Structure 1
Amino acid sequence: MAHAEPDNFTIRAMTRADLDRAVEWAAAEGWNPGLDDAGCFHAADPAGFLMGFAGDEPVASISVVRYADTFGFLGLYIVRPEWRGRGFGYRLWQAGMDHLTGRIVGLDGVVAQQANYARSGFALAHRNVRFGGAAQVDAPDDPRIRPVDAALVEAVLAYDRDFFPAARDTFLRCWLKDDARKALAFVEEGAVKGYGVLRACRSGFKIGPLFAEGEREADLLFRALTARAGGAEIFLDLPEPNEAAIRLAARHGLSPVFETARMYRGEAPDLPLSRTYGISTFELG
């Protein structure tokens, strides 16, 4: 996918190395990406990441990941500071939206850009708030908390389908692997009733997703995951409408540090926010 412009601005699908570069830009913006996010991001849709170049210089990025035929998610929308104000970002935006033609599109945008997104047809669904802090917890001694191993993966994939507008098995099979992240499930009477994933970030650790049937299961999963962070800072990106999630974060000493606007172009999916205690990532939904 390449678009030549009179001023030698071109757009192409990112290579894996390009995606690593875009994640570094996200870190420079203060978004605190995970240390090993790029591999799973790329697995979700290898063609879903576009980079803009001024000549040979990479200057802008956007992710436009396609989930099935019905849904896409937009993220990593960055123009390097020294290249802003030249219209490159808007051209890349247009190419990204073309990539998602015919799909409902979601994004988690910084609040300052909400009006711009609205002009492109996006409507606010709710705010997401990032809570952070050094939570000091002991791991719960509860046999219902189990590692997501090969025997549990299929059940966790099935559980996840209630929480996302389309199946995302390729992404999750990577995200749930035990090499760079730690995934735990709450299993009661043979049924998955919640799961969460902990990953190391540039600063501290993020928990995401954190989905659970109720506050009890969410709290046990949160404590089990946080105990594995060794006292480092924990960040949890939660949907503001979920008051139980806010209680959970506050109870463990976390406080708001950042927020985004969850917006959709097209009909907003009916997702169970009351059971969503932590979203997966601001980049991929």
Structure 2
Amino acid sequence: MTRYKLDKYKDEIVNLYINEKLSCAKIANLYNAHLCGIYDALKRWGIKTRNLSDSHKLYKVNDNYFKNIDSEAKAYWLGFIYADGYITKPSNIGISLKDIDDVHLTKFLKCINSDYPINYYVSTGYGECRYARIIINSVQMFNDLLLKGVKLKKSLILQFPDEQIVPKEFQLSFIRGYFDGDGSLILSENSINIKLCGTKEFLCKVIEIFNEVSNYNFQNKLFKRHKDEKNNYYFSYGGRLKVISILSKLYDNANIFLDRKFEKYNKLINS
């Protein structure tokens, strides 16, 4: 990436360096840039670079949180990261959400016992969009997530985790996390609908689990999201009772969920 292309990301890069305390090497990796290019850009923008001893400020985090998926919360957050998180080399874990959902990032930080900051941005790529983001730096967590099925550039190759990764008793919590990240509940005068996006293999397994826990038949019918993408699908099911039959299983005794979607679910069951 040339020095002038880096200028497009000035605010983000400065924030990562100043507020999130990422090193120039990690920022260079995130933006596929040369290390010296990041140093030069910071200098050109009037940012004083840290020396080696200053560049290793550590935030608190439970590095071993995802070592074993043995609770509702861990299964939920793994599903959420499958859908709405990402990992980048050498050891970064990131989650970005609309700024109105920033309390959800606070929930995650509390679960992993972390004091990493939540940072806020405005993207103008496709109209103004405000979002919140955390980036965790942890070699152990990065490696554990890899072992748990989170892939680099995962959107078209994602597989549903087997029972050695997510035990059967936590599969619905995992799906709830994934639904909160990459699903939707549509409530309108003419339609009550649940939708989930993912790879063919992933969605087929979710449908299989739906049919195991519900009295309704969820047909294995998928639709392509974009014609030019080989493995990017969604399924969509409608009908009040059918939608409630599966959402009630996802939310039964749940302690962690995206508040905004849970409120819509409550609106549905109380209507």
Q: Which has the higher contact order (CA 8 A, sep 6+)?
A: 1
TM above 0.5: no
Structure with greater Cα Rg: 2
Higher strand fraction (1 or 2): 1
TM-score range normalised by the length of the shorter chain: under 0.3
Normalised to the residue count of structure 1, the TM-score between the two structures is: 0.24
Normalised to the residue count of structure 2, the TM-score between the two structures is: 0.25
